[in-house]
Amino acid sequence: MSQTDTPTDNRVVEATTFTRAAASEQRALLRISPLTVSLGGVFVLLLIAATFMFGARAVRFEVSPDGAGINITSGFSYQLGERYLMLPGSYSATFTAEGFESLTRSFDVSEEPDQTLSITLTPLPGILTIQTHPEVAALIYIDQVEVGTTPLTLNEIEAGLRDVRIVPERYFPVDTEIDITGQRIEQTLTTDLTPAWADISLTTLPAGATIAIDAEDVGTTPDTFEALDGERRLTVSNTGFKTVERTLTVEAGVSQQLPDLMLEKADGRLSLTSAPSGASVTVDGRYLGLTPLDVKLPPANDVRLTLTKAGFNAVSRSLPIRPEEDATIHTDFRPVLGKIQLSVTPADAVLYINDVQHGPASGALSLTAREHSLSIRLDGYATYDTVVTPKPGLTQKLLVALQTEEAARIAAIAPLYTSQGGPELTLILPGELSMGAGRREPGRRSNEIEKQVVLTRAFYLSNREIDNATFKRYDNTHDSGILGRSRLSHDDRPVVNVSWLGAARFCNWLSEQDGLTPVYTITVNGAEINQPMGNGYRLPTEAEWSYAARYSDGKPTRFPWGDNMPPADIHANYADLTADKMVPYIIADYNDTFRGPAPVGSFEPNNFGIYDLAGNVSEWIHDNYSIAIPRETLTDPVGPDSASHRVIRGSNYTHGRFSELRWTYRDFGMEPRPDVGFRVARYVHNIADENTEESPVGSPSVASAEVNHD
């Protein structure tokens, strides 16, 4: 208390008795001060921060557009300027910007010290308004997809460059493009349209005609109308006049004044019927068709109408034709009759007239003077069919003797026919022959083994060698080539340089053309013969070729011209004077005028009607080559089952020696040669076979008939 202080009362301070405190029997507990706790916490935080700073990696986000918001939604990070410090591991973040779709993305932070993550946000769709000038309805296509009709506002259109096609009516289409900003920004596309029409003026005489463009009425003459650009169909019609149709070429914006159009009066219509129908109709001598008939005719005061039908009296009349008037005319014909007197055996045969049963075949008939089909039928006999045309005032007598089915079957085999593939074939009936040559015959070769043969099956043989033109229908790439100075590939020359297998393939192709079963099965090793061998096309057997060549006169000769050299006349194409220096041997003083092959059929045929069995080219044969000696008569031989070569028969244009010119000369081979061609053959079914041969052409008459006219 300072000396200036004045006491407020007179209290006395008294001393108290001092007593020592008793010592505690227990030790005081350890006490942690707040300061210690605080320091420890700071230490831990510093340790964590040091650990984070040591292990964290700097991550930089490049976001388009600039200024987008970044929110790390998982994991711990610390933003330091434009970078984020983040420990390695997996994170996710959300990126946002006005006008763009928000994006949440997961990413991994690697051990790299500095890392950059690029993010591009997608703009929100834009708003596009499309309008035209002038304002017309137009279809709008965005990126080739139709989206609506103008005026049009699209509230959701993806950002980016867009193709726009505007297709208005009566204006040219417009193709353009627009870059859509997106971000809900509104954009407008305004397009100026170009008219696609022109003004067309037309006057008609008379006036008042209806004008149509592409079948749509646009006005009445005289008039000026609009037509769209391009080729247009102009139609002008008026009652009582012919409709006029023309093609009109319109150029947009270019007006046209069409020439005045003179309309012609319309046709009248004529409906014609007759009993019987099918009458020929002529008007003023001009044929129009058969009844029933509807025709249009130009107006006329008088036309001459004539109706005619075979077997009936003609009808003729005059009538007027008025514009757009329908006239109907019916005509009943009166028949013109002729007589047919039939005498048929057997007497119980039945007659059919135009496929309708008439009654007994024998007797007198009164028929209209036109063509009629007569059919005479009787069980067990072949049907007799014929066509007759009765004549007024004349009686025709027809004598018919029906043939049995057996006799008709024989008569029905066509003696000559042409295959679908081209070759013409001749029927050869079977017989007996001697093949080969006796051992003492001059010029005989060791392979000309003498054989006795019986042919029991009739066959067809092509009467000419297959020429280049025919073979090219099968193989248009084939070229017969050249020998010396002789060109072998002319269309009318025999085809050569064809292997045996190539000829067999041609035969199979020819069978297919005629719907026949092929004879040969082509294999990798050659060809196999289908068994039983049917009536498809094939090469002739050696026996068939020999019979057709040597036995057409009945008595065989040594050479094609007789028994002695040289040839007495020019009858075939051999090695003659023109072939001198081209071949080793020629026939002296013989000149057939052909150095190489002659056109097929250039010389006279034999008595079977077969050409060029001697000379021209040698020919491939069906048989495998063999020199075996038979011990007995052979029946319909086709050669051994297998061999390395095939038979070649006949002399050719390179042959001039005695031995080669004989009928019995044989050769063999497999490969193409310039002097070897071929012809084709096929079987005719035996007469007694259950399945009879179907003639490839119309069968001849199967009954004997005689026609007399009184």
Q: Put the strands of the sheet holding 356-360 in their side by side order.
A: 356-360, 350-353, 372-377, 384-388
Q: What does the pLDDT look like over 607-659, one tens digit per residue?
A: 999 999 999 999 999 999 999 999 899 999 998 988 899 999 999 999 999 99
* Mean pLDDT across the chain: 87
Instruction: Determine the topology of domain 268-332 in CATH.
Output: Immunoglobulin-like (2.60.40)
Enumerate the β-bridge partners of residue 4.
none
In the structure encoding, which two tokens stand for residue 198, read together? Answer: 């022109």
- Mean pLDDT confidence for 239-259: 92
Domain ranges of the chain: 50-120, 126-192, 197-262, 268-332, 337-410, 414-683
Domain at 50-120: CATH architecture: Sandwich (2.60)
Distance CA 321, CA 302 (A): 7
CATH number of 126-192: 2.60.40.1120
CB 575 within 8 A of CB 557: no
CB 351 within 8 A of CB 376: yes
pLDDT recorded at residue 465: 97
The DSSP-derived string for 322-364 is: -TT-EEEEEEEPPB-EEEEEEEEESTT-EEEETTEEEEESSEE
pLDDT recorded at residue 684: 86
Written in H, E and C, the secondary structure of 390-421 is: CECCEEEEEEEEECEHHHHHHHCCCCEEECCC
pLDDT recorded at residue 57: 87
CATH number of 197-262: 2.60.40.1120
Q: Give the Cβ contact number of residue 134 at 10 Å.
A: 9
CB 58 within 8 A of CB 85: yes
The matching CATH number, chosen from 3.40.50.10420, 2.60.40.1120, 3.30.479.30, 2.40.30.20, for 337-410 is 2.60.40.1120
Question: Do the first three CATH levels of 337-410 and 414-683 match, i.e. the same topology?
Answer: no
Q: What does the pLDDT look like over 61-104, one tens digit per residue?
A: 999 998 888 999 888 888 888 888 888 989 999 999 988 989 99
Instruction: Determine the topology of domain 414-683 in CATH.
Output: paralog of FGE (formylglycine-generating enzyme) (3.90.1580)
Kindly tell me if the per-residue pLDDT of 709 is higher than 60.
no
Q: How confident is the model at residue 410 (pLDDT cuts 50, 70, 90)?
A: low
Q: What does the pLDDT look like over 151-184, one tens digit per residue?
A: 999 998 999 999 999 999 889 999 999 999 988 9
Q: What does the pLDDT look like over 10-24, one tens digit per residue?
A: 454 555 555 555 544
Q: How confident is the model at residue 310 (pLDDT cuts 50, 70, 90)?
A: confident
Closest CA to 191 of 161, 165, 163: 165
pLDDT recorded at residue 500: 96
Q: What angle do CA 364, 366, 372 make, to 5 degrees?
A: 105
Distance CA 517, CA 519 (A): 6
- pTM, two decimal places: 0.46
